[in-house]
Amino acid sequence: MLKEQTLTFAKPHNVQNANCVVMVPPKEFKFNAETAEDNEFQHQVDLTTQQIREKTMVEFKAMVASLRREGVQVVEFDYPLSDVETPDAVFPNNWFSTTIGGSLYTFPMACENRQHEVRPDALIEALTASGRHVTHQDSLEDYLSDNAHLESTGVMVIDHLNKTIYAALSQRCDREVLEDYAKRTGYGRVVSFQTALPSGHPIYHTNVMMAIGEGFCVICDEVIPEFERRFVLKSLAKDKQVISISIEQMNRFCGNILQLETVNGDKVIAMSQSAFDAFSPAQRAQLSSHGKLLPFDVRTIEDIGGGSVRCMLGEVFLPKRVNAL
């Protein structure tokens, strides 16, 4: 005789750090000419498409295996193919976000071929199979009709503990959409600012220049105009150890890191090997006080895609389903 099954949901242990991430295999990965128009971190390489995909798949699989060994839950989203290739699908954090209340948000992507990455139904199916529960869906994609964009946690670096969103404004981060998202999620404070690279162009994604953990922040503050820089740093320093990085370190993806939590509640900080090597010994020591450093060799993905480890991790804050018989 079957027993009645009751579903209950356990909230994540930590508000700032996810203990589960979505990762997408780079099965269509290649240089994306559309995104390269405003992403100065992308580079062409002398490899065939087949060689690129073989190398990036090795990098991806090694990163997934290592995270799982450390105790971070990884949901591999092996998305369904369509008629349009999605070369940047390996960077899922740009098109969705989740909350501890069970909400899934999808976002208006700036590049047309990246808009095809947005597959909420397939993602919900993968999350449900992994024991995570979506209770509410919301989309900001209607802003595409106004040519306004907001590329999720690519452009928003979020201090969940203080309900504050930090964002570098650009064509991928529209102020109106940003403030609408903050209103929908109840995050009452938005700190938006301008940036300028040596070329004079703005940073394409905030998460290449800064990262926020539970008790620290890494930031390339020299790309922020001085009158705004002081305000941003003062805001961060209220309860974070601020670790300032140079433009050269930013170019090695020192800002593109992410603090996570294991199933045992331990803190880890995911970053690329390039970033790990570019941090000074003193900076590595500072970061190590906030969690075990996990460097991953993703140099092919970095060079061609212009994004690094943090971009490859879509945080899952959704409640975990616990089956009770």
List, for residues 255-285, the tens digit of each pLDDT value: 999 999 999 999 999 999 999 999 999 999 9
Helix H, strand E, coil C: the string for 6-52 is EEEEECCCCCCCCCEEEECCCCCCCCCCCHHHCCCCCCCCCCCHHHH
Which residues, listed in sequence order, are joined to residue 315 by a DSSP beta bridge? Answer: 21
The span from the CA of 249 to the CA of 136, in Å, is 39
- pLDDT score for 220: 98
- pLDDT score for 31: 60
Read off the DSSP letter of residue 117: T
The span from the CA of 285 to the CA of 288, in Å, is 5
Question: Could you tell me the domains of the chain?
Answer: 6-324 (3.75.10.10)
Q: What is the mean pLDDT of each run of 10 residues along the chain (325 residues)?
A: 35 75 89 56 70 92 98 93 87 96 96 92 96 96 97 97 97 96 95 95 94 98 96 97 97 97 96 98 98 97 89 96 52
pTM score of the predicted model: 0.91
Model confidence pLDDT, tens digit, residues 31-53? 655 564 555 564 666 678 888 88
